C-alpha cells in the first residue's frame, strides 16, 4: 500500500461546539482514509525530493519536513520520497527525525531537494513524556527514568509492570506471586506510607489513574517513571509514590507497517525445597513416638514405606503463548495504530492459568490546521484462575502450595487406576478431601473486562497558545465464579455443594483541560501550562452465595437452585471524586539554565470537610554545565547537567468514607429461633480530621555523557520526608475496635541511584551495558505514640502471617518493615542449668532463646529486632551484544541485604507435627548422648545438631531461625536472537524478521532456604501487613521458562 | 474563528465550579443517630450487642480458653500449639486462643454503652415506653453479662460505661466497682425484662427475666468467694435462686440429652444460651465435631468427628454406675490399630500419651484403645449419617446449673438441710440416680461439686466453679498429670492473662491484676 500525501483538510466545516460527538465521526472518516488510497493533485510551487541515510545511503521513511514559519509539513514515504507545497519555491525546509540530526535547507527556487540526514551522535535528545506534555530530555529538570518498547517486549510477561523490574534505578519491583497474573508490588524510592497505598500512580496516554496491568506489552512504546517531586508534583495529591507514565504506540505518518510478534514456551519449577521421602518420614514418625514416650512403633519397617511426591504432583510443566498483531501508520493528516493481542499462560500448579485478549485503536487526526483530535481506546478481557493469595485466608488455608509441601509422603495420591483419590485420611484429624483432587475439581476463576477510551481535542488558539481537553472513561468489571461440587470434600463445606459469585464494577471518568503557552525570547524561552481536572469513580459490588444443590450440573449458574436459603447476598457501593487545578512554568535560559515550577491544588471527597483541599508545589533547577564555554573544550565529558529539585506531593490513598463513624447492617447478626437476624454494628471508627499524607522530597542529581556520549551516567540522591502518615494503629480493644486510622507519624526515605549506559563497542560488533543500582534507607521519625514503658521505645507491634503474630515492629529510629522476634542461640544441652522458656522448663535439645533483658525468663519482653524486609541495595544490569544479524542479551536482577520470614521453613522443621519435613532434618536433629551404668559415654548422640530434638514443640514466634537473609542475584532473562538479512526477506516483501529464544529465571545465586527469595504471600495493601514485602508462607514458586519467538514486520 | 475557539474553551470551564462535587454520600452505611428513630432499627442495634457473643462463645473459643485449662476436657490432637499450651498450662499472654473473650465482650460493652446513651428516654408515637424500657433492660443485662464474664476471667478489667467519651487507654478498674456494675446491670435486667414464656416464638433466644435473675444470683455467689465479698452475698444468691426456681416455671427435661436437643432450644431448661446455627457461618457450632470420635461412629452412627476434645479420665471415673448421663458419652477409638498392636493398616491416629488409654469397667468396649467422647452437642434431629450439620446451642445458663447452685448455697448457709437436697436430687433423679440423704455439710458439698462436674462438663462452667472453690490448679493437675509437669508459671494459677495485643496497644493495661 502506497500512500501519497493528501491535501484533504478534513471536516473543517463542522460545528466545533459539538466536538465531543464529532470525534467518533472523525475517527470513522479517518479510518476510511486508511483504506482508500487518496491521491492528491500536484500543486504549484512544490518541492520534491528523497531523504537518505548518511551511513548506509538507504532511503529514510517517516522524516518530518516542515516549511519553516508555516503550519504546512509532510513526511517521507517508505522510499524516502516527499513532496511539499512551498509557495514560490522560497523558504526553508526543516528535516527532522528521531535518531538523526535536524537539518535546515533553504529551497532557493529549487523544485527538487534531496538531502542526506546525518545520524545523530546526540541520541539523548529524544522526547520524554512528562506530566501534561513532552519534553526534550536535555530540558528535563526532574528525575525521570525511561523504559523503551524493545526492553518491554524482550521479556515474556503477563503484566506490563514486570517490565520495570531491575530496569529503572530507584524502582523496586517484587512479585508477590509468581503465578501467572500474580500481584506485583512496585515501590518507587522506598515505602512512603505505613498503611496508605504505596503503589505509584499510573498515567496511561494521559489518562490519570489507569490500570497498567490490563495493557498488552506489545502495545507499549515507552514507560517513564517520574521519581522526584519536580516531576511528580504536577500530579499533586496522588504523586507521592512516584508516577509511571505509559505511552502506547501511535502510528507514524507515512510509515505503514504490520507487525506480528509471537512466542511459545514452557515453564516449570526449577526445584527448591527438598522434602523427606517415605522411609525418612516414617522413621521421623517413629522417632516422634519415641520422643513423646510412646511405647509403640508406628512403622516397624520404615525403609519399606512408599514415597508419594505431592509437591511433584502439584507442579507440572506449563505452556505459555503470546500472539500480537498490529498495523500502524498514517497519512499526512492522521495516523493510526490498531492492534490485537492474545496471551495465554498456564501456571505450574494444577488448574491455574491466565488468558487475556487485548484490542487497541489509537488515532490522531488534524481536523483543521488549528484543531487536532484523537483517541486512545483499549479493551482487555482476562480469564484467570484465582490467585493463590486471593484464595486463602491469613492462616494460609486454601493454599495449594503449602498443602502440597505439608502432605506426608506416605499418603497415597492416586487410586489403582491412576486417578486422584477424592479423599485422604491424614495422619491426624478427620478424613478430608485430597488437596490435589480439590485443586483439579473446584471451580474458581475470574473474568475481568476493562474498557478504556481517552479522547482529546487540541486547539491551536494562537500561534503559541494551545488548548487541550481530554475526556476519558474506564470501566472495569470483574466476576468471580466459584463452585465446589458435591463429590469434592473440602475443609470449609465438606461435601455440601457450594457456589459463590462475586461481581463488581468500577466506572471512572476523567476530564482534563489545560492551556499551554510557549514564548521564545531569542536566547531564552518560556513554557507555561495551566489547567484543571475533574474525576469521579463509582464502585458497586454484589456477592451471592448458595449451598446444597440437587444437581452439580448447575455449577454457579443457577443460584436460585440452592436449597439453603439462609445464605445471604451482599452488595456494596463506594464513590469518590476529585477536583484539581494545576500549573507549570518552565524557563530555559540560553539552553544552560533551566527552571521549572509546578503547583497543583487538589480536592478529594475522601477527606473530612475541614481538610478537603491540599496544595502541592515544587521547584526545580538544572544547569547544563557542558554548554558553558569552559566545558566545551573537554573531550572526555560531552554532556553534563546538574539538577536540583524540591517539592511536595501527597497521598490520599485511604478508603472512601474513612472520616465517618458509621453503622453497618449485617444480615447474619444473631440467631433467634433458628433464623439469622439482622444486626447493626459499628463499621469503623471514623476520624473527621483525616487528611493527606504529605511527602516532601529533595533531589540532587547529575546527568553526564562521556567519550562522545558512549558512556552515559545518571546519578541522583534523594531525601524524602512523609508527614501526617496514615497509621491504623492497634487500638485498645476496650473501645470495641482493634484499629483506628489516623494521621500521625513521620517517615524518612533516602537513597542514591546510579544508572549507567555504556556502548562499549559500536561497530559491526556491538556491546552495550546497562546497569543500575539503588541504595536506600528508611527511618520512622515519629509515630505519635507514647514511649512504651516496657521497651523504652516509641513503637507499636503488628504483623501477622499464618499463626505468626506480632512479627513486626514500627519503631521510631528504625526502618519500616522491621521484623520483631527472638534471638536464638543453638540448642539447650544436658549440662546447662535449669531455665524457663515461655513458662516451661527447658529440656536438653530444645531451642535456646536468648534472654535479652536478662530477667531469667523468656517472654515477650525478650523480643528484639531480627531483620528488615526492604533491601538495602537493589537493581539490575544487562549485557547486550550484536553481530551481523545475531543478538544476545543477558539481564540480571538483584537485591541485597534484606530478610524474609520463612514460615514454610518453620512448618517443615517443626519437629512435633505430622506434616512433611525438610530432608536436611534427617541426621541433623539433637540426640542425647548415652552413658552406661558407670557413667561412661556409650553413644555421643548428636548434640551439635542444628535442629532440636524430635518432638520439641517450637513456639510459633518469629525468630532469627526463620527470618533469614534473602539477598539474591538472578539471571532473569537470557535471549539469543537472529534477524534475517534484508536481502533474503525483501523479496517476499517482509521488512524485518527476527527469531529468538529466551530463557527466564535460568539461574540464581542465593542462600535463601525456600523456593525463591522474592516472595510476599500477602500483598501489603491492608493494615496488618502494611509495608510487608517479605512473607513466605507457601508462596507460589517462580518458574523457569524457555520461549521461542518471532518478530515479523512488513 | 478566534471567537469560536475561545467559546469552546469557555464551554468546558464551568465544570470546575461545583463544590458539592466533593461531598461524600455513603449509601451502604448509616450514622448511629438515625437508628434510634424506630423500633425495628433499635431492635437490630440491640441485636448488635448479641452479635459479638460469637467471638466469646462461637468457634469453640470458649472451650479452648476455659475448657482446656480446666479439669473436664482435654485436647488430644497435637499440632495446634496454642491448644497444647493451654492443655499443658504452658500458655502465655500471646496465646491466640485466649484473645477472643476480651475483644468480644468489649464489643458488647461498647455497643451497649452506645444504646444506653442514645436510646430516647421519652416515649414517642413510634416508641412506646414499654418498648424503650425493655430495650434498656436487655442492654443492661447484656452489658452486665459481659462484665461478669470479664471479671471472672481476669479479676479486674477496665470499667467503661460511656460511649461518646469513652477512655481510650483505660487501666484496670476497681474490682468493687466492677461487681457493683454487674449486679446493678442484672438488677435492671430483672426489673425490665419479660418472662421467658412471654417472649414470642420468633424471638426465642433473647434474654429474659429468668436469665437476669439467674445471672444475678450467680454473680452474688461468685462475689461471695472474692476478697471484696459483701456479708449478705450468699443470702441474696439464695433468694434470687429461690425466686428463679419458684417463680419462673423452668423445669428439667426427662432425659439428659433432651436438654441439648435442638427441638428444645430456648425451652424450659434453657435459661440463656448462645444461639448457634450451622447454616450461618457466623454462628456455626463446632462442638459436636470437636467432641466426636474420629474413626468410630458417634451416637447417631456418623463418622466425621475430629476427636479434638475428650473428657478427662478423672471426669469419666466420677460418674456413678448407672448414671444415665453416660449415654451422652461414647467411647470411640482414637487410633485405629487393633489388639495386636500392629499398625499395618497405616498410621491413622495419634497418641499423645499412653496414660490416656483407658481401661475401665464402664467402658463398653473391650480394648485399651478407646477414650470417652462427649456427645451432648450432638444434634439428634439429624439421622442421615452423611449429614454434617449440628445446630445445638451453647448453654450459658441451664436450669440444672441453677438447681445445683441453689443446693450449694443452701448447704453453705444452713448445712445439709432438706432444702439443700432439693436441687441436687432433682438433677440426680433425671440422671437415673438415687436421691442423696443423710450427708453432713462437707459430704454434701463434695456431692454437689461432683454433680456439677458430671452434669455441666463442657459447658464452660467448671473453670469458674474451681475458681470459686479456690482449688483450680490442684484439680487440673490431678486430672491431667500426663500433660502438666514441671514448673507452671505461677501467674497462671488463678486468672487468665490479658492478651499481649491489648497490653501492647494500651500501656496502662497490665497482663495480670496487680496483686496476682
Percent share of chain A, pLDDT over 70: 88
Q: How far apart are the first and last CA of chain B?
A: 89
Check pLDDT > 50 for residue B297: yes
Tell me the mean pLDDT in the region B156-174. Answer: 92
A670 touches chain B (CB under 8 A): yes
DSSP assignment of A1015-1043, as one string? --SS-TTSGGGTT---EESSPPPPPEEEE
A459 touches chain B (CB under 8 A): yes
Distance CA A115, CA A681 (A): 78
The answer to whether the beta carbons of residues A287 and A415 sit under 8 Å apart is no
A298: nearest CB among B89, B343, B487: B343
A519 touches chain B (CB under 8 A): no
Residue A387: per-residue pLDDT: 63
Q: How confident is the model at residue A991 (pLDDT cuts 50, 70, 90)?
A: confident
Distance CA A638, CA B373 (A): 86
Task: For residue A572, list chain B residues with Cβ-Cβ distance below 8 A.
Answer: 28
Distance CA A497, CA A561 (A): 11
Distance CA B268, CA A215 (A): 66
Residue A1024: per-residue pLDDT: 38
A281: CB partners within 8 A, 6+ apart: A305, A408, A409, A410, A916, A917
Give the burial string for B410-420 (b: 16+ CB within 10 Å, else e). Answer: bbbeeebeebb
Residue B341: per-residue pLDDT: 38
Check pLDDT > 50 for residue B343: no
φ, ψ at B284 (rounded to 5°): -70, 145
B9, B12, B35: best mutation site toward chain A, by most A Cβ within 10 Å? B12
| Residue A194: other Cβ atoms inside 10 A | 26
Check pLDDT > 80 for residue A946: yes
A511, A679, A858, A910: best mutation site toward chain B, by most B Cβ within 10 Å? A679
Q: CA of A299, closest CA in chain B: separation in Å?
A: 7
Residue A1026: per-residue pLDDT: 45
**A866-912: per-residue pLDDT in tens?**
998 888 999 999 999 999 889 999 999 999 999 998 988 998 999 98
User: Judged by CB atoms within 8 Å, which residues 219-278 of A form the interface with B?
Assistant: none
Q: Which range has the worst mean pLDDT, A98-107, A118-127, A1020-1029, B360-369?
A: B360-369
Could you give the dihedral angle defined by the CA atoms of residues A12, A16, A20 and A23, in that order, rounded to the nearest 10 degrees? 0
The answer to whether the beta carbons of residues A870 and A751 sit under 8 Å apart is no
A430-439, B33-42, B232-241, range with greatest mean pLDDT = B232-241
Percent share of chain A, pLDDT over 90: 38
User: Judged by CB atoms within 8 Å, which residues 765-794 of A form the interface with B?
Assistant: 786, 788-790
B500 touches chain A (CB under 8 A): yes
Interface A-B, measured as beta-carbon pairs within 8 A, has a size of: 311
* CB atoms B29 and A735 under 8 Å: no
Between A322 and B84, whose confidence is greater?
A322
Residue A231: per-residue pLDDT: 85
Task: For residue B103, list chain A residues with Cβ-Cβ distance below 8 A.
Answer: 733, 738
Check pLDDT > 50 for residue A961: yes
Residue A373: per-residue pLDDT: 95
Q: How confident is the model at residue A559 (pLDDT cuts 50, 70, 90)?
A: confident
Residue A538: per-residue pLDDT: 94
B469 touches chain A (CB under 8 A): no
Tell me the mean pLDDT in the region A437-451. Answer: 90
Between A626 and B243, whose confidence is greater?
B243
User: Judged by CB atoms within 8 Å, which residues 360-419 of A form the interface with B?
Assistant: 370, 410
Q: Is the ipTM of this complex over 0.90?
A: no
H-only helix segments in A378-449: 400-406, 435-441
Residue A71: per-residue pLDDT: 66
Which residues on adjacent β-strands are paired with residue A380?
A: A358, A450
Which residue on chain B is closest to A492 by alpha carbon? B281
B2 touches chain A (CB under 8 A): yes
* CB atoms A578 and B275 under 8 Å: no
A571 touches chain B (CB under 8 A): yes
**A799-844: per-residue pLDDT in tens?**
666 667 778 888 999 988 889 999 999 999 988 888 888 767 788 9
* CB atoms B23 and A669 under 8 Å: no
Which residue on chain B is closest to A463 by alpha carbon? B2
B9 touches chain A (CB under 8 A): yes
Distance CA A47, CA A64 (A): 14
Q: How confident is the model at residue B19 (pLDDT cuts 50, 70, 90)?
A: low
Tell me the mean pLDDT in the region B305-321. Answer: 85
The answer to whether the beta carbons of residues A638 and A706 sit under 8 Å apart is yes
Percent share of chain B, pLDDT over 90: 54
B340: CB partners within 8 A, 6+ apart: none
A662: nearest CB among B29, B50, B91: B29
* CB atoms B30 and A789 under 8 Å: no
A16, A658, A670: best mutation site toward chain B, by most B Cβ within 10 Å? A670
Which residue on chain B is closest to A424 by alpha carbon? B348
Q: How confident is the model at residue A1036 (pLDDT cuts 50, 70, 90)?
A: confident
B110: nearest CB among A660, A736, A912: A736
* CB atoms B489 and A836 under 8 Å: yes
**pTM recorded for the entire structure:** 0.76
B40 touches chain A (CB under 8 A): no
B24 touches chain A (CB under 8 A): yes
Residue A8: per-residue pLDDT: 39
The answer to whether the beta carbons of residues A112 and A49 sit under 8 Å apart is yes
B354: nearest CB among A294, A461, A606: A294
Between A394 and A333, whose confidence is greater?
A333
Tell me the mean pLDDT in the region A80-92. Answer: 85
A308 touches chain B (CB under 8 A): no
Residue B364: per-residue pLDDT: 30
Task: For residue A455, list chain B residues with Cβ-Cβ distance below 8 A.
Answer: none
Nearest CA to A827 among A947, A988, A919, A908? A947
B354: nearest CB among A295, A427, A736: A295
* CB atoms B348 and A425 under 8 Å: yes
Residue B305: per-residue pLDDT: 74
* CB atoms A789 and B109 under 8 Å: no
Mean pLDDT (chain A, rounded)? 84
Q: CA of A296, closest CA in chain B: separation in Å?
A: 8
Distance CA B108, CA B97 (A): 19
A332-336, A388-392, B334-338, B481-485, range with greatest mean pLDDT = A332-336
Please report, for residues B204, B251, B395, the alpha-carbon distance to residue B398 in angstroms, rounded to integers and kept in the order given.
15, 10, 6
Check pLDDT > 70 for residue A337: yes
Check pLDDT > 70 for residue B33: yes
Task: For residue B15, list chain A residues with Cβ-Cβ distance below 8 A.
Answer: 511, 513, 532, 534
Residue A108: per-residue pLDDT: 84
B504 touches chain A (CB under 8 A): yes
Task: For residue B31, list chain A residues with Cβ-Cβ distance below 8 A.
Answer: 660-663
Residue A182: per-residue pLDDT: 74
Amino acid at each position: 500500500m502506497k500512500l501519497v500525501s493528501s491535501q484533504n483538510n478534513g471536516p473543517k466545516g463542522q460545528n466545533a461546539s459539538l466536538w465531543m460527538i464529532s470525534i467518533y465521526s472523525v475517527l470513522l472518516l479517518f479510518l476510511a482514509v486508511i483504506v482508500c488510497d487518496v491521491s492528491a493533485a500536484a500543486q504549484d510551487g512544490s518541492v520534491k525530493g528523497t531523504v537518505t541515510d548518511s551511513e548506509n545511503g538507504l532511503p529514510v521513511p517517516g522524516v518530518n519536513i516542515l516549511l519553516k514559519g508555516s503550519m504546512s509539513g509532510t513526511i517521507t514515504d517508505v522510499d524516502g520520497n516527499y513532496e511539499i507545497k512551498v509557495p514560490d519555491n522560497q523558504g526553508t525546509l526543516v528535516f527532522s527525525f528521531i535518531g538523526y540530526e535536524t537539518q535546515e535547507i533553504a529551497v532557493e527556487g529549487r523544485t527538487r531537494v534531496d538531502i542526506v540526514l546525518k545520524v545523530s551522535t546526540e541520541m539523548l535528545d529524544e522526547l520524554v513524556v512528562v506530566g501534561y506534555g513532552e519534553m526534550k530530555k536535555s530540558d528535563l529538570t526532574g528525575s525521570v527514568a525511561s523504559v523503551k518498547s524493545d526492553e518491554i517486549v524482550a521479556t515474556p510477561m503477563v503484566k506490563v509492570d514486570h517490565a520495570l523490574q531491575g530496569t529503572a534505578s530507584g524502582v523496586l519491583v517484587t512479585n508477590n506471586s509468581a503465578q501467572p497474573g500474580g500481584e506485583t508490588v512496585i515501590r518507587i524510592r522506598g515505602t512512603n506510607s505505613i498503611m496508605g497505598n504505596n503503589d505509584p500512580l499510573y498515567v496511561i496516554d494521559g489518562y490519570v489513574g489507569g490500570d497498567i496491568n490490563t495493557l498488552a506489552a506489545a502495545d507499549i512504546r515507552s514507560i517513564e517513571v517520574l521519581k522526584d517531586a519536580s516531576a511528580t508534583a504536577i500530579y499533586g495529591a496522588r504523586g507521592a509514590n512516584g508516577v509511571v507514565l505509559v505511552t502506547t504506540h501511535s502510528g507514524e505518518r507515512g510509515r505503514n507497517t504490520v507487525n506480528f510478534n509471537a512466542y511459545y514456551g514452557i515453564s516449570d519449577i526449577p526445584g527448591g525445597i527438598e522434602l523427606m521421602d517415605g522411609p525418612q518420614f516414617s522413621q521421623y514418625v517413629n522417632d516422634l513416638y519415641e520422643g513423646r514416650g510412646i511405647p509403640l512403633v508406628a512403622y516397624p519397617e520404615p525403609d519399606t514405606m512408599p514415597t508419594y511426591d505431592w509437591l511433584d504432583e502439584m507442579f507440572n510443566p506449563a505452556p505459555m503463548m503470546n500472539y500480537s498483531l498490529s498495523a500502524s501508520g498514517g497519512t499526512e493528516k492522521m495516523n493510526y495504530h490498531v492492534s490485537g493481542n492474545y496471551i495465554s499462560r498456564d501456571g505450574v500448579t494444577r488448574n491455574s492459568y491466565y488468558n487475556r485478549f487485548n484490542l487497541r485503536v489509537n488515532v490522531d487526526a488534524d481536523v483543521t490546521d488549528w484543531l487536532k483530535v484523537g483517541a486512545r481506546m483499549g479493551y482487555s478481557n482476562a480469564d484467570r484462575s484465582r490467585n493463590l493469595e486471593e484464595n486463602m485466608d491469613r492462616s494460609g488455608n486454601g493454599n495449594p502450595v503449602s498443602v502440597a509441601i505439608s502432605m506426608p509422603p506416605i499418603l497415597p495420591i492416586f487410586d489403582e487406576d491412576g486417578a486422584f483419590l477424592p479423599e485422604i485420611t491424614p495422619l491426624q484429624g478427620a478424613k478430608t478431601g485430597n488437596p490435589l483432587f480439590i485443586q483439579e475439581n473446584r471451580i474458581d476463576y475470574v473474568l475481568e473486562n476493562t474498557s478504556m477510551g481517552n479522547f482529546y481535542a487540541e486547539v491551536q488558539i494562537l500561534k503559541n497558545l494551545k488548548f487541550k481537553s481530554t475526556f476519558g472513561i474506564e470501566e472495569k468489571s470483574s466476576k468471580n465464579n466459584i463452585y465446589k461440587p458435591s463429590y469434592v470434600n473440602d475443609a470449609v463445606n465438606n461435601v455440601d455443594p457450594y457456589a459463590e459469585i462475586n461481581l463488581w464494577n468500577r466506572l471512572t471518568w476523567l476530564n482534563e483541560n489545560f492551556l499551554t503557552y510557549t514564548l521564545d525570547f531569542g536566547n531564552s524561552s518560556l513554557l507555561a501550562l495551566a489547567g484543571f481536572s475533574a474525576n469521579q469513580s463509582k464502585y458497586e459490588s454484589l456477592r451471592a452465595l448458595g449451598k446444597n444443590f440437587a444437581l452439580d450440573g448447575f455449577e454457579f449458574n443457577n443460584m436460585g437452585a440452592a436449597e439453603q436459603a439462609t445464605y445471604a447476598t451482599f452488595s456494596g457501593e463506594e464513590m469518590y471524586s476529585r477536583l484539581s487545578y494545576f500549573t507549570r512554568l518552565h524557563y530555559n535560559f540560553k539552553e544552560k539554565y533551566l527552571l521549572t515550577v509546578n503547583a497543583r491544588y487538589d480536592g478529594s471527597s475522601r477527606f473530612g470537610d475541614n481538610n478537603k483541599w491540599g496544595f502541592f508545589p515544587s521547584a526545580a533547577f538544572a544547569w547544563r554545565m557542558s554548554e558553558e564555554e569552559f566545558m566545551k573544550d573537554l573531550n572526555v565529558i560531552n554532556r553534563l547537567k546538574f539538577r536540583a529539585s524540591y517539592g511536595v506531593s501527597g497521598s490520599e490513598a485511604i478508603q472512601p468514607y474513612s472520616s465517618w463513624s458509621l453503622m453497618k447492617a449485617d444480615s447474619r447478626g444473631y440467631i433467634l429461633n433458628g433464623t439469622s437476624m439482622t444486626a447493626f454494628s459499628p463499621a469503623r471508627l471514623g476520624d473527621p480530621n483525616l487528611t493527606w499524607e504529605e511527602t516532601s522530597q529533595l533531589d540532587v542529581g547529575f546527568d553526564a555523557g562521556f567519550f562522545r556520549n558512549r558512556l552515559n551516567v545518571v546519578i541522583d540522591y534523594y531525601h524524602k520526608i512523609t508527614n501526617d502518615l496514615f497509621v491504623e494503629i492497634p487500638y485498645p480493644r476496650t473501645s470495641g475496635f482493634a484499629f483506628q486510622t489516623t494521621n500521625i507519624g513521620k517517615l524518612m526515605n533516602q537513597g542514591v541511584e546510579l544508572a549507567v549506559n555504556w556502548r562499549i563497542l559500536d561497530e559491526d560488533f556491538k556491546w552495550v551495558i546497562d546497569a543500575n543500582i539503588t541504595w536506600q534507607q528508611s527511618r520512622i521519625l515519629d509515630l505519635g505514640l507514647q514511649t512504651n514503658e516496657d521497651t523504652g521505645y516509641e513503637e507499636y507491634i503488628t504483623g501477622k502471617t499464618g499463626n505468626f503474630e506480632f512479627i513486626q515492629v514500627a519503631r521510631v529510629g528504625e526502618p519500616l518493615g522491621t521484623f520483631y522476634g527472638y534471638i536464638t542461640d543453638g540448642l539447650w544441652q544436658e549440662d546447662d542449668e535449669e531455665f524457663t522458656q515461655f513458662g516451661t522448663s527447658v529440656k536438653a535439645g530444645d531451642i535456646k532463646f536468648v534472654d535479652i533483658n536478662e530477667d531469667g525468663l523468656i517472654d515477650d519482653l525478650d523480643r528484639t529486632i531480627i531483620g528488615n524486609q526492604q533491601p538495602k541495595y537493589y537493581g539490575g544490569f544487562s549485557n547486550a551484544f550484536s553481530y551481523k544479524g545475531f543478538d544476545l542479551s543477558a539481564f540480571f536482577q538483584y537485591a541485597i541485604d534484606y530478610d524474609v520470614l520463612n514460615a514454610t521453613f518453620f512448618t517443615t522443621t517443626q519437629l512435633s507435627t505430622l506434616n512433611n519435613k525438610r530432608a536436611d532434618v534427617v541426621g541433623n536433629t539433637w540426640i542425647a548422648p548415652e552413658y552406661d551404668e558407670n557413667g561412661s559415654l556409650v553413644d555421643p548422640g548428636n548434640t551439635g545438631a542444628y535442629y532440636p530434638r524430635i518432638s520439641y514443640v517450637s513456639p510459633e514466634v518469629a525468630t532469627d531461625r526463620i527470618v533469614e537473609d534473602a539477598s539474591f542475584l538472578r539471571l532473569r532473562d537470557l535471549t539469543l536472537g537472529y534477524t534475517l538479512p534484508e536481502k533474503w526477506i525483501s523479496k517476499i516483501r517482509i521488512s524485518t524478521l527476527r527469531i529468538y529464544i529466551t530463557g527466564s529465571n535460568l539461574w540464581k545465586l542465593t542462600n535463601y532456604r525456600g523456593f525463591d527469595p522474592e516472595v510476599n504471600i500477602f500483598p501489603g495493601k491492608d493494615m496488618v501487613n502494611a509495608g510487608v514485602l517479605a512473607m513466605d508462607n507457601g508462596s507460589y514458586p517462580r518458574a523457569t521458562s524457555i520461549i521461542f519467538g518471532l518478530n515479523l514486520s512488513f | 474563528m478566534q471567537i469560536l475557539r475561545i467559546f469552546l474553551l469557555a464551554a468546558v470551564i464551568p465544570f470546575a465550579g461545583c463544590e458539592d462535587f466533593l461531598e461524600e454520600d455513603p449509601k451502604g452505611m448509616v450514622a448511629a443517630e438515625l437508628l434510634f428513630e424506630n423500633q425495628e432499627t433499635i431492635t437490630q442495634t440491640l441485636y448488635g450487642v448479641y452479635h459479638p457473643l460469637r467471638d466469646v462463645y462461637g468457634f469453640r473459643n470458649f472451650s479452648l480458653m476455659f475448657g482446656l485449662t480446666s479439669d473436664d476436657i482435654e485436647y488430644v490432637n497435637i499440632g495446634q500449639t496454642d491448644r497444647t499450651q493451654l492443655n499443658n498450662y504452658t500458655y502465655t499472654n500471646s496465646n491466640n486462643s485466649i484473645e477472643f473473650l476480651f475483644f468480644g465482650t468489649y464489643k458488647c460493652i461498647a455497643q451497649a454503652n452506645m444504646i444506653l446513651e442514645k436510646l430516647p428516654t421519652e416515649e414517642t408515637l413510634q416508641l412506646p415506653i414499654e418498648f424503650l424500657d425493655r430495650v434498656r433492660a436487655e442492654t443492661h443485662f447484656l452489658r452486665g453479662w459481659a462484665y461478669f464474664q470479664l471479671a471472672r476471667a481476669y479479676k479486674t478489667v477496665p470499667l467503661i460505661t460511656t460511649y461518646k467519651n469513652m477512655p481510650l487507654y483505660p487501666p484496670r478498674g476497681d474490682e468493687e466497682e466492677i461487681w457493683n456494675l454487674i449486679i446493678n446491670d442484672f438488677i435492671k435486667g430483672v426489673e425490665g425484662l419479660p418472662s421467658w414464656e412471654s417472649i414470642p416464638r420468633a424471638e426465642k433466644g433473647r434474654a429474659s427475666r429468668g436469665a437476669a435473675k439467674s445471672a444475678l444470683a450467680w454473680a452474688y455467689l461468685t462475689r461471695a468467694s472474692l476478697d471484696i465479698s459483701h456479708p449478705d452475698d450468699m443470702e441474696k444468691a439464695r433468694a434470687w435462686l429461690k425466686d428463679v426456681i419458684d417463680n419462673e416455671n423452668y423445669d428439667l427435661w426427662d432425659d439428659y440429652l433432651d436438654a441439648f436437643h435442638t427441638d428444645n432450644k430456648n425451652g424450659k431448661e434453657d435459661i440463656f444460651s448462645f444461639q448457634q446455627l450451622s447454616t450461618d457461618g457466623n454462628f456455626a457450632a463446632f462442638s459436636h465435631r470437636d467432641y466426636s470420635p474420629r474413626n468410630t461412629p458417634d451416637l447417631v452412627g456418623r463418622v466425621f468427628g475430629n476427636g479434638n476434645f475428650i473428657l478427662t479420665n478423672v471426669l469419666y471415673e466420677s460418674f456413678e454406675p448407672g448414671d444415665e448421663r453416660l449415654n451422652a458419652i461414647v467411647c470411640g477409638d482414637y487410633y485405629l490399630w487393633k489388639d495386636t498392636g500392629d499398625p499395618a493398616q497405616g498410621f491413622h491416629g495419634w497418641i499423645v500419651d499412653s496414660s490416656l488409654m483407658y481401661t475401665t469397667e464402664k467402658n463398653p468396649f473391650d480394648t485399651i484403645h478407646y477414650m470417652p467422647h462427649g456427645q451432648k452437642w450432638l444434634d439428634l434431629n439429624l439421622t442421615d449419617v452423611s449429614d454434617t450439620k449440628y445446630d445445638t446451642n451453647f448453654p450459658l445458663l441451664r436450669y440444672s446449673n441453677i438447681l445445683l447452685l441453689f443446693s450449694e448455697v443452701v448447704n453453705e448457709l444452713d448445712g445439709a438441710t432438706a432444702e439443700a437436697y432439693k436441687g441436687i436430687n432433682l438433677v440426680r433423679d433425671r440422671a437415673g440416680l438415687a436421691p442423696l440423704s443423710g450427708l453432713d455439710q462437707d459430704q454434701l458439698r463434695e456431692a454437689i461439686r461432683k454433680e456439677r462436674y458430671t452434669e455441666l462438663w463442657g459447658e464452660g462452667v467448671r473453670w469458674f466453679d474451681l475458681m470459686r472453690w479456690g482449688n483450680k490448679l490442684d484439680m487440673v493437675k490431678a486430672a491431667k498429670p500426663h500433660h502438666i509437669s514441671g514448673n507452671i508459671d505461677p501467674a497462671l494459677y488463678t486468672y487468665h492473662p490479658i492478651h499481649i495485643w491489648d497490653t501492647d496497644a494500651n500501656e496502662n493495661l497490665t497482663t495480670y491484676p496487680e496483686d496476682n
